Copies of this chain bind each other. A is one copy, B any other.
Amino acid sequence: MQLTKFTDYGIRTLLTVAQAAPELISVSKVAEQNNISRNHLTKVANKLVSLGYLESVRGKYGGLRLGMPLTDIPLGHLVRQLEPDFNLVACMGDHQACTLLPTCGLPRVLQEATAAFLATLDHYTLASVAKQPDMILVQ
């Protein structure tokens, strides 16, 4: 079972930007520190900017900084926004994929389990997973 790389990179980007504060950090530097391709990380960073989690400052001394404190980012909410879907098995996204539907209760049970997964993540903010004190506060 996996989250998408997009979500994985999204979380790591926010933590890396927080760690760099009060300095701004470039997309290239975040990519390099996390061993992720710059192209892939640009898409992730753009999404995080559009969601308000990051701010992008242009210019020679520009770069990324947090758009809100890590304490304001519930992990469950972030994961819901970054994951494209929670179709854990093929039939949940494409009802043609299974001949057992509509008599099969698997999708409903997996939805219930996913809700329990996300509810657990809702107990945590990004600040509470970033154990270094200087990663917790937005600068």
Residues of A within 8 A of B (CB): 1-5, 7-8, 11-12, 15-16, 19, 33-35, 75, 79, 83, 86-91, 97-100, 103-106, 109-110, 112-114, 116-121, 124, 128-132, 135
Q: Which residues of B contact A7 (CB under 8 A)?
A: 89
Whole-angstrom distance between the Cβ of A108 and the nearest chain B Cβ: 8
Contacting A33 at CB < 8 Å: which of B33, B87, B99?
B99
By DSSP majority rule, is chain A's interface helix, strand, loop, or mixed? Answer: helix
Q: Are A12 and B83 in contact (CB under 8 A)?
A: no
**B121→A2 contact, CB < 8 A:** no
A99 neighbours in B (Cβ, 8 Å):
16, 33-34
- The 5 A-B pairs with the shortest beta carbon distances in the complex, nearest first, are A113-B120, A105-B129, A117-B117, A8-B89, A116-B116
20 contacts between A and B (CB under 8 A): A1-B3, A1-B86, A5-B90, A8-B90, A11-B89, A12-B91, A12-B98, A15-B104, A16-B99, A34-B98, A100-B130, A103-B130, A103-B132, A104-B129, A109-B120, A109-B124, A110-B121, A113-B116, A113-B118, A116-B117
